[in-house]
Amino acid sequence: MTSEPDHRGFGASAPKPGPPTPKPAPPSDAAPVDTEAAEAQVAAVLTGLDDLDERPVAEHVAAFEAVHRTLQDTLAAVDGS
């Protein structure tokens, strides 16, 4: 006696992903984003990593966290989030 393989959750009955849902447009009264200022801010914060190899390893996490936080804030401002 042979048995059929168990394909539960696979095949035609499984849901198919659809196209991504578009992100709503920002409100029309949103202030224009100053991308040059954002780029300057990113460049400035990245310079904080220039001397990382000269700092004690114990300071590395704090330096990376500060850069990460600034990058997130800048991206959120540019993205309008």
pLDDT digits (tens, 9 = 90+) for 28-70: 565 667 788 888 988 999 998 999 999 999 999 999 999 999 9
Q: What is the pTM of this model?
A: 0.54
Q: What is the phi-psi region of residue 50: left when phi exceeds 0, alpha when psi lies from -120 to 50, beta otherwise?
A: alpha
Nearest Cα neighbor of 26 from 72, 74, 71, 77 is 77
- Domains contained in the chain, number: 1
Supply the range of the domain harboring residue 80: 53-81
Whether 1 maps to a domain, the answer reads no
Whether 34 maps to a domain, the answer reads no
Three-state secondary structure call for residue 8? coil
Q: How far apart are the first and last CA of the chain?
A: 60
16-20, 41-45, 63-67, 75-79: which has the minimum mean pLDDT? 16-20
Residue 73 has pLDDT above 70, yes or no: yes
Whether 65 maps to a domain, the answer reads yes
**Sorting pLDDT into bands at 50, 70 and 90, what band is 26?**
low
